[in-house]
Amino acid sequence: MFDISKIDKLFILMEKKNLDVVVIGPSNTLEFLTGFNPVGCERFQALFITRERQYFYICNLIYAEDMKRWFDAAAPFYIWNDSQGFHEPLQKAVMDFDLNNKTIALGESIRAIDSIDMKSIFPCEFINGSHLLEELRIIKTEPDLDKMRRAARLADEVMENLTGFIRPGITEKEIKIKIEDLFIEKRADGLSFSPIVACGSNNSRPHYRENSGIIAKKDVLLLDFGCRYQGFCSDISRTFFIGNISKEEKRIYKIAREAQEAAVLAAKEGVRCCDVDKKAREHIEHHGMGNYFLNRTGHGIGFDVHEAPYINGNNKRYLERGMAFSIEPGICIPGKVGMRVEDIVVINHQGETEVLNKFTKEIVIIK
């Protein structure tokens, strides 16, 4: 159901930033607040929340029954059908809630074409509301962290299961399907993102997607995947070696792993995100591989697999209790090889740095 305590936090942020209205479309943010994400299509729908602690929902008729289940019976709904369009119902809502000439923060999933349509319906000033909405989720409660621990355990179990499944001759696509099947067997609530399965030189592309490779007798395989459990995400990466490992591969992996471990050790309550990134970056640069460190050191995680806080060189925010984030520096040599090790780390409510993933970071060779 619509969680009023989470909305109270939003009202405080709105007052602080002098915002009149926040608009949230289908997204994980909407699920965080209501318990449900309808997964949007081209039909406009959104939750409008005003500074006066009022709200309403507008949606197409085909979504009305689904969405009403997540609100009180008295919640204001403005429903439109395909023949009618959403302009007239939205005009009525604007009049009912006095939204003319207001400053409106748009969530990340509101489409540009819908914002243009809204501006044609009523005068207002739109601003980017994504950072505001991320603030709602940046500090996890202890029950939230327990769900993330469970999601991480499921990811560890799947990684362990895969070591007995992977062998030369199978395809990246077969491994991807196996990952999906294993999470279903373990009763996860779905994937947190589409798994990355990259062998050969495919793994030099950090977000490789084709799944067209075949595992060779001598190969390097990078896996990156996660699941959702009761709304919260996991994310893990490991690099496996097929057949054997060369001296150069061992050297590169050692650099990537040590950079990851250095960043984990640096990630403490009161430390700036940019300083955590610096630890990983300095280690990789010291070994002459700085040009091949393409990504940030990490990203926040929770209801979204990528959210605040971002562990990069520009983020001067201090780590706080309840924050959860990945640590995943990598080395990607274009057209040759890519390796990374990724764990989810939290600053727990005792102020301790806690690594949620337990799957080994030792070299794993699959024969």
Extract the tokens encoding 297. Answer: 């050191």
Together in a domain, 64 and 181: no
247 CB-near residues (< 8 Å, 6+ apart): none
- How many residues in total does the chain contain? 367
Model confidence at 237, pLDDT cuts 50, 70, 90, reads very high
Q: pLDDT tens for residues 47-90? A: 999 999 999 999 999 999 999 999 999 999 999 999 999 999 99
Of 107, 136, 165, which residue constitutes the final position of a domain?
Answer: 136
- Per the structure, the count of domains in the chain is 2
* Percent share of the chain, pLDDT over 70: 99
Last residue of a domain, one of 116, 136, 156: 136
Q: Is the peptide bond prior to 309 cis by the omega test (within 30 degrees of 0)?
A: yes
Same domain, 152 and 117: no
Say yes or no: 328 and 202 in one domain. yes
Does residue 196 sit in the same domain as residue 260? yes
pLDDT, tens digit, 9 for 90 and up, residues 246-267: 999 999 999 999 999 999 999 9
Instruction: Give the pTM.
Output: 0.93
On whether both 132 and 146 belong to a single domain, the answer is no
Name the residue among 235, 156, 147 with its Cα closest to residue 191. 235
Q: Are residues 220 and 354 part of one domain?
A: yes
Backbone angles phi, psi at 268, to 5 degrees: -130, 160
Q: What radius of gyration, in Å, describes the C-alpha atoms of the chain?
A: 23
Q: For residue 265, what are the domain limits?
A: 142-366
Supply the CATH number for residue 48's domain. Answer: 3.40.350.10
How crowded is the C-beta side of 40, counted as CA atoms within 13 Å? 21
CATH number at 148 reads: 3.90.230.10
pLDDT the model gives residue 7: 82
d(CA 203, CA 306): 20
Q: Are residues 126 and 147 located together in one domain of the fold?
A: no
For residue 319, pLDDT over 80 is answered with yes
Same domain, 157 and 20: no
173 and 188 part of one domain? yes
Same domain, 152 and 235: yes
Query: DSSP string spanning 48-111?
Result: EEETTS-EEEEEEHHHHHHHHTTS-TT--EEEE-TTT-SHHHHHHHHHHHT-TTEEEEEPTTS-
**Do both 248 and 321 map to the same domain?**
yes
Does residue 286 sit in the same domain as residue 153? yes
Strand ranges for the chain from DSSP E: 21-24, 46-50, 55-60, 77-80, 102-106, 124-128, 196-199, 219-225, 228-229, 232-233, 236-242, 298-300, 307-311, 324-327, 330-333, 337-340, 343-347, 353-355, 365-366
pLDDT tens readout for residues 198-233: 999 999 999 999 999 999 999 999 999 999 999 999
Of 136, 152, 176, the last residue of a domain is 136
Least confident range from 34-38, 151-155, 175-179: namely: 34-38
